[in-house]
Amino acid sequence: MDGNLTKALWIGVSILLFIAVVTVGIGIFSQMRDASNTAAGRLESITKNMEEEGFRRFDGNEVSGSQVLSAISEYSDKTGEFIILVATLGSNGGNAVDLKPESNTVPDIGKFTEYISETNGSLKCEENCIILSGSSDELLTSKSANLRNAQRRDAENSNLTSKYINPSGTFISHLIYDENLVIKGIAFAQKE
């Protein structure tokens, strides 16, 4: 009888130890999951900041036409997510387009050629930023690879003066944001 009591005590102690180990394990797992979620959020934020840092070279700077062409090529795979707007002297009757968000001056979007994506939105200035706003849920729509490639070829063809981006021309560039201040593109306007 004494042996049965000992076995029962060992089984009871084993069950209690098992419950304690499982409880501690669940607690640690829960804490690690929270730490993991926090770390993932921080990594996502760092990744986004690093990606946006690549665009900063176009924020209010003068660039050459060859840099404009390079940007069109570089971001070509972001169709539907990113847009490049280019206003050349040839596409605007020889007149430069005034692109100065710091003075709340942004031209009509019709003065620009849309590369990579298309939009039905409009441009406006807020707090020295160019904002692309629109009424539809989809601010940017994708362009086919064939259309993107054709536009790129036209931009490099000096015989098409209304579409030609002169590699040695000087352009002023500004970032384009959506209404949540997420970078959605770059606007380039050729200087005289």
Instruction: For residue 176, list its beta bridge partners.
Output: 130, 185
Same domain, 63 and 52: no
Structurally, how many domains does the chain consist of?
2
Beta strands of the chain (E only): which ranges?
62-64, 83-87, 113-115, 117-119, 122-126, 129-133, 140-142, 170-177, 183-190
Least confident interval from 53-67, 91-105, 145-159: 91-105
Based on the domain organization, do 91 and 171 belong to the same domain?
Answer: yes
Residue 169, domain extent: 59-190
Residues 72 and 52 in one domain: no
pLDDT tens-digit profile of 1-19?
A: 577 888 888 888 888 888 9
Residue 153 CA to its chain's centroid (Å):
25
Both 82 and 165 in one domain: the answer is yes
pLDDT in tens, 8-53: 888 888 888 889 888 888 888 888 888 888 888 888 878 777 777 7
Report pLDDT digits (tens) over 154-178: 888 888 878 888 899 899 999 998 8
User: What is d(CA 81, CA 118) in angstroms, rounded to the nearest whole number?
Assistant: 10
* pLDDT, position 64: 92
Same domain? 140 vs 180? yes
Residues 82, 148, single domain; the answer is yes
Shared-domain flag, residues 142 and 173: yes
Q: Which amino acid is at 135?
A: S
Q: Give the domain-ending residue among 38, 57, 76.
A: 57
